[in-house]
Amino acid sequence: MKTSIVRGAFLNPFELRNYSPLKDKFAITAISSKHPISDKIDLPLKRLSSPTDLPDFLFKYPILNRLFVDAQQLFGLEKVISGSDIVHVAETYFGYTHQAVMAKRRGLVRHVVSTVWEIIPHNNEGIRGRKAYKRLAYESVDLFLAVTEKAKDTLIKEGVNPDKIKVVNVGIDIHKFKPAKIKEESKNINILCVARLVPEKGITDLLAAFLEIRKKNSKVKLTFIGSGPLKRDLLGYKNIYVKSVPYQKINKEYRKANIFCLPSRETKTWAEQYGMCLLEAMACGLPVVTTDSGAIPEVCDDAALISHHSDVAELQTNLEELIYNKEHRQNLSHLARQRALAKYDSRKISQQIEKIYLEIACR
């Protein structure tokens, strides 16, 4: 069964690990732009040129999206996916999703499946042509795989038939991301944040909370792993470290930490859709402090202490609760690992996807 997984510039190993176990069961080809997030995937890969491959320039995506409706176009995609039994795309408005939908309507491919992360109803509709892209996707996509219940509710609110939606989580490698066998006892508490260093991730909120905590506790440490425009704002503070770590080694950083924190904010047009770092932290048995941004409460449930987004005082309180309460840390650590095993094992997710592919192919 010829299967094309199209992710354009967003191709990455975090999501694609959920499909790697299927490569011996289906004729799978992943399709990306020339310069995706990462090509370190265990699947055959075809690269196509895309507007996203252009070098960065001022207002790059606002300009490209207005020229192309969505910049995630892939030149020559129709030829590559022609004859596919299943074309698996993402979202409802991406350029390559529209290309796959039109290929189906022309009879070039049999079925189209789309993974959906969006959790804000009618978001991304301000650009001319986007609503039309979405309407065609609602009509022509055979099945939507919502990564959360919140994403499913968003699709329903936008008019998608609930019978065309299944909730399928994105999983992680729970054997790579696992607790350290032995964690050395230390008076130091290491707080870890793995995130893009941008305002919407709540980076400055965590900085402010930590600086208050440090006034009373010189043993606590905070490590940021990531890059972004706020990096400069984090430099020069005692006990605060900013690192860049290859993804292949990131699991070791989780094992060194005592607490994980993702303090995401929320705006009218952005909220945390999932938070892969939360899954990785939970799988490593880290107690988690986070916020109620977007789908985070659904992803973490009772395996985390959750504060209201942008509330620095509440974030500080939750961090201090775990800093000074070893028993609470241990309880949350156990809950986190058990939740990761039960819900976010990529091998189990791939089995769900295999079943879905077979069901669709029989239609």
Mind listing the domains of the chain with CATH numbers? 2-171+345-361 (3.40.50.2000), 190-343 (3.40.50.2000)
Q: What is the arithmetic mean of pLDDT over 203-212?
A: 98
Give the model's pLDDT for residue 187. Answer: 76
Quote the pLDDT of residue 336. 98
Q: What is the 3-state secondary structure (H, E, C) of the chain?
A: CEEEEEEECCCCHHHHCCCHHHCCCCEEEEEEECCCCCCCCCCCEEEECCHHHCCCCCCHHHHHHHHHCCCCCCCCHHHHHCCCCEEEEECCCCHHHHHHHHHHHCCCCCEEEEEECCCCCCCCCCCCCHHHHHHHHHHHCCEEEECCHHHHHHHHHCCCCHHHEEECCCCECCCCCCCCCCCCCCCCCEEEEECCCCHHHCHHHHHHHHHHHHHHCCCCEEEEECCCCCHHHHCCCCCEEEECCCHHHHHHHHHHCCEEEECCCCCCCCCCCCCHHHHHHHHCCCCEEEECCCCHHHHHHHHEEEECCCCHHHHHHHHHHHHCCHHHHHHHHHHHHHHHHHHCEHHHHHHHHHHHHHHHHCC
Query: Residue 186: is its pLDDT beyond 90?
Result: no
58-62, 200-204, 225-229, 246-250: range with lowest mean pLDDT:
246-250
Task: Give the model's pLDDT for residue 363.
Answer: 86
183 confidence band (pLDDT: 50, 70, 90): low
pLDDT exceeds 80 at position 256:
yes
305-320 pLDDT, tens digit each:
999 999 999 999 999 9
The whole-number pLDDT of residue 64 equals 97
pLDDT at residue 345 in the model: 98
Q: Is the pLDDT of residue 184 over 90?
A: no
Confidence of residue 185 (pLDDT cuts 50, 70, 90): low
Quick: pLDDT tens for 116-142.
999 999 999 999 999 999 999 999 999
**Confidence (pTM):** 0.95
Q: Give the chain's mean pLDDT.
A: 96
